[in-house]
Amino acid sequence: MKFFIDTANLAQIKEANDLGILDGVTTNPSLMAKEGVKGNDAIMNHYKTICEMVDGDISAEVFSTDFDGIVTEGKKLAAIHPNIVVKVPMIKDGVKAIKWFTDNGIKTNCTLVFSAGQAILAAKAGAKYVSPFIGRIDDTNWDGVELIAQIAHIYSLQGFETEILAASIRSSLHIVKCAEAGADVCTCPLDSILGLLKHPLTDIGLAKFLEDAKKM
């Protein structure tokens, strides 16, 4: 399973990248706004900076919701760097645009996916990634991880090549559960990645080894 970081914060991207386990980055308008990135030039420059920091796929989301607007915006984003993946919402014009991007050699990430039916459509349109939002599904008292398993089963049965990118990750346990359920990628906040390091027995064991090392 690949690890992406789900942020537009450059310091957090650097910290995850320095760990040596980072395969890519996902952003969305909310994450960009959180970093105070405003205006077309600043947005483009921010994506360029991220592409120069991380050697992997970088998802950049369109704001348009009509076919022509999505295609125009997506072409500009894709021109920033070969690693840009155009992130397109799961709406009717979004699916049409994903098919257009697929036919024209531009990689896409179909976002805001909450059902297996939506994931089938994204795969049929040729999306490189499909992004089920598992935390937001959990928020509605359904099981987000179960959706990952269902999509993984369908994609494997049907031979779809679209990669399942588990998004809206809220904890380290989510990452483990998504790996078990067959996600190809997990895009995670930095805290959830770093949380994987933690176990109290590791801390206790290390303290004892360091104490005994002094007696050597």
* Residue 192 in contact with ligand G3P, rule: CB under 6 A: no
128 classed as catalytic? no
For residue 135, give the 3-state DSSP assignment.
helix
- When binding is defined by CB under 6 A, the residue of 167, 183, 186, 193 that contacts ligand G3P is 167
CB atoms within 10 A of CB 26: 26
Q: What is the DSSP letter of 167?
A: B
* Residue 187 in contact with ligand G3P, rule: CB under 6 A: yes
Length of the chain equals 216
Rank residues 17 and 131 by Cβ distance to ligand G3P and give the closer one. 131
- When binding is defined by CB under 6 A, the residue of 12, 17, 28, 83 that contacts ligand G3P is 28
* Residue 168 in contact with ligand G3P, rule: CB under 6 A: yes
State the nearest-atom distance from the C-beta of 135 to ligand G3P, in Å: 5
**Window contacting ligand G3P (CB under 6 A); options: 77-85, 87-95, 98-106, 130-138:** 130-138
- DSSP letters for 57-115: EEEEE----SHHHHHHHHHHHHTT-TTEEEEEESSHHHHHHHHHHHHTT--EEEEEE-S
Which residue among the candidates 38, 75, 87, 177 is catalytic per the annotation? 87
Q: Are the C-beta atoms of 189 and 167 separated by less than 8 Å?
A: no
Site residues (vs ligand G3P, CB under 6 A): 6, 26, 28, 133, 135-136, 167-168, 187
Residues annotated as part of the active site: 87
